[in-house]
Amino acid sequence: MPLPSLTLEQRTAALEKAAASRKERVLVLAELKQGRRALRELLDSESAIVRRTPVRKLLESLPGIGKVRAGRLMTEFDIAASRRVQGLGERQRQLLLERFETPAA
């Protein structure tokens, strides 16, 4: 089935919406990396932007986690490479929180 053709205005609106979504995602992941947001907060988020974020990008945004370590964690926790935050199972969420959540002082 071919994609519907869009008018110039519809295409422009869609591009602006996509750009705004990418900008918000980048800001949220930067806040996570800087420690201004907690992993639990993002995993429990109702934001459509956060829920559609790939888990790998989320892991790579954690302090001290790079691409290689994120890949190893995805394998260890049995998370598919294409999985997004909204698609995480309860066990996977719990494993991530146990690994990265700091105990309350």
Q: What is the pLDDT of residues 68-83, one digit of tens each?
A: 999 999 999 999 999 9
Domain assignment present for 4: no
* Alpha helix stretches (DSSP H) within the chain: 8-33, 39-43, 48-51, 55-60, 67-76, 90-100
Task: Tell me, yes or no, whether 1 lies in a domain.
Answer: no
The reported pLDDT for the residue numbered 104 is 52
Look at the block and give the residue holding tokens 């394998």. Answer: 75
96 falls within a domain: yes
Domains of the chain: total: 1
13-43 tens-digit pLDDT: 999 999 999 999 999 999 999 989 999 999 9
Return the CATH number at 73: 1.10.8.50
Tell me: pLDDT of 105 over 60: no
* Residue 56 near residue 26 (C-beta atoms within 8 A): no
Query: In angstroms, rounded to a whole number, what is the distance separating the alpha carbons of residues 91 and 83?
Result: 14
